[in-house]
């Protein structure tokens, strides 16, 4: 038995289908690279906004 795994991280307010799509992409990358692999996507980094600069928080 072998296992290939694709792992990703959600940024919170992200559409679940986007998260699953990234995990699926990593799964196939793990399979391409051989048996018994785990492939991890780099987390997307959203720009940080200081609270005093966010008009939604004013």
Residue-range definition of the domain harbouring residue 17:
4-44
56 belongs to a structural domain: no
52 belongs to a structural domain: no
Which pLDDT value is given to residue 27? 94
51 belongs to a structural domain: no
The whole model's pTM is what? 0.66
Contact 7, 41 (CB under 8 A): yes
Walk along the chain (58 residues) and give the pLDDT tens digit of each residue: 889 999 998 877 888 999 899 999 999 999 999 889 999 987 666 666 565 655 655 5
49 belongs to a structural domain: no
Cβ atoms within 10 Å of 16's Cβ, excluding its own: 8
């Amino acid at each position: 038995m072998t296992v290939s795994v694709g792992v990703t991280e959600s940024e919170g307010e992200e559409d679940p289908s986007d998260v699953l799509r990234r995990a699926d992409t990593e799964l196939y990358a793990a399979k391409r690279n051989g048996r018994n692999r785990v492939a991890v996507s780099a987390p997307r980094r959203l720009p940080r906004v200081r609270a005093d600069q966010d008009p939604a928080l004013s």
